[in-house]
Amino acid sequence: MGKVKKKCCRSKPRCKKCPVVALFKARDEARAKALKKLAKQERKKSGKKKDGKAA
């Protein structure tokens, strides 16, 4: 993405260096990471339940 500008130029569509775009991208990446972690925990939790019932 490169260096982020200090101030938005308010162009339409927003340029890739715009701080607004950078913040949205960072937010989306953080959400995706959190969802992956949650899904992994759920898989792990459900796997333990199945093993516990079978044994």
Asked whether 8 and 20 are in contact (CB, 8 A), the reply is yes
Sign of CA dihedral 17, 18, 19, 22: negative
- Cα 3 to Cα 22, 29, 30, 41, 42: the distances in Å are 10, 18, 20, 35, 37
pLDDT of amino acid 39: 93
Task: Kindly report the pTM of this predicted structure.
Answer: 0.64
pLDDT of amino acid 17: 92
Per residue in 11-20, pLDDT tens?
Answer: 999 998 999 9
**Tokens in use for 38?**
């949650």
pLDDT of amino acid 55: 47
Residues of the chain with pLDDT under 50: 55
DSSP H helical ranges for the chain: 19-54
